[in-house]
Amino acid sequence: MESMELASFQIISTVGGARSKITEALQCARQRNFTEAYQKIDEANEFLKEGHKNHVDLIQKEADGQEIPFSMLFMHAEDQFMSVYLLRDIAHEMIAMWKEIK
């Protein structure tokens, strides 16, 4: 497997794990289990950190002059990456709102 394909799949895999944890966090919050909800967000952040490392590695390679080929797979990985970051931020706000509603 080419390195770009591998990097793309690594990003997709890690953000998929983060998305699952965020979904679990929202489910916990709906049950008013806020401590566990925030723990799930923390777990999602660990997945996102791993995906971010792969993302930054590619940016550094391109900044060093290495050509980074475009592919639909990589575009999908980047799309998933940014979508999950947005989902995490929205979920965090939703949990905070549910917490305020008694």
Q: What residues act catalytically?
A: 76
Phi-psi region of 32 (alpha: psi -120 to 50; beta: other; left: phi over 0): left
Question: Is there a contact between 10 and 81 (Cβ–Cβ < 8 Å)?
Answer: no
In whole angstroms, what is the distance from residue 83 CA to residue 75 CA?
12
